[in-house]
Amino acid sequence: QVQLVQSGAEVKKPGASVKVSCKASGYTFSSYGITWVRQAPGQGLEWMGWINSYNGNTNYGQQFQDRVTMTTDTSTSTADMELTSLRSDDTAVYYCARVNQAFNDGEVIYGYFDYWGRGTPVTVSS
Amino acid sequence: SYDLTQPPSVSVSPGQTASITCSGDKLGDKYACWYQQKPGQSPVLVIYQDTKRPSGIPERFSGSNSGNTATLTISGTQAMDEADYYCQAWDSRTYVFGTGTKVTVL
């Protein structure tokens, strides 16, 4: 069965960086992308970006362009998300999810997130 | 940027039908999907490609998408369906989530 196991909770100070890991199992890792979504306390879901697990190409949400880096390691079926220059409003639960997409001429035409990790709480506080 | 708007809340009596809307410019020209999220849990995909149900999702969940509005319908709503629901679509190289709807089963 498909599983995404995320790393544990983190507490960081403003200005620091955090790296969250997501280990996949139960499917061919390079056949699906991984996306990252976060949810601040009491708020809705916010898409951060996705990475093509096959070739490492990334597509980041505009509000995260300058601060986020997503990587994958196909040898360990692991995806990582690093967020830098943390602020208090980055306090949230960070989820990884498998992204199931359709392509046309190499471009995504739609996608959905069919399996999710349990989330990693990240607290940013001085 | 592309926005998807949902009503903040929907109330429904047990056994009745709940309809949750998701509005966006020409949303019917895109594929919409829906997620259910219960308190303290990860989101779960309940509808994808407008109308399809993943394995394990009850038949009482159905979806439609036309014009500017996608709709998630829960027929014969049960107490266990009480949750937050989010729509999602792809636009201009970005995945967009709706604002979310809290469904209360009274």
Give chain B's length.
106
Closest partner residue to B94 (CB to CB) among A61, A97, A100 is A61
Q: With H, G, I as helix, E, B as strand and everything else as coil, classify residue A62.
A: helix
Q: Are A10 and A62 in contact (CB under 8 A)?
A: no
pLDDT score of A104: 86
Mean pLDDT value of segment A61-65: 95
Distance CA B45, CA A3 (A): 15
Q: What are the chain B neighbours of A121 within 8 Å (beta carbons)?
A: none
Distance CA B92, CA B47 (A): 22
* Chain mean pLDDT for chain B: 97
Closest partner residue to A111 (CB to CB) among B43, B90, B99 is B90
Distance CA B65, CA B73 (A): 11
Closest among B37, B32, B34, B23 to B81, alpha carbons compared? B37
Indicate whether A107 pLDDT > 90: no
Per-residue pLDDT tens digits for A9-44: 999 999 999 999 999 999 999 999 999 999 999 999
Which chain A residue's Cα is nearest to B84? A44
Mean pLDDT value of segment A43-60: 96
In sign, the C-alpha dihedral spanning A118, A121, A122, B1 is positive
Q: Are A2 and A116 in contact (CB under 8 A)?
A: no
Please tell me if residue B95 touches chain A, with a CB cutoff of 8 Å. Answer: yes
CB-CB neighbours of B34 under 10 Å: 26
Which chain B residue's Cα is nearest to A117? B42
Mean pLDDT value of segment B26-36: 97
Give chain A's length.
126
Please tell me if residue B48 touches chain A, with a CB cutoff of 8 Å. Answer: yes
Share above pLDDT 70 across residues of chain B, in percent, rounded to a whole number: 100
Decide if A45 and B49 are in contact by the 8 Å CB cutoff: no
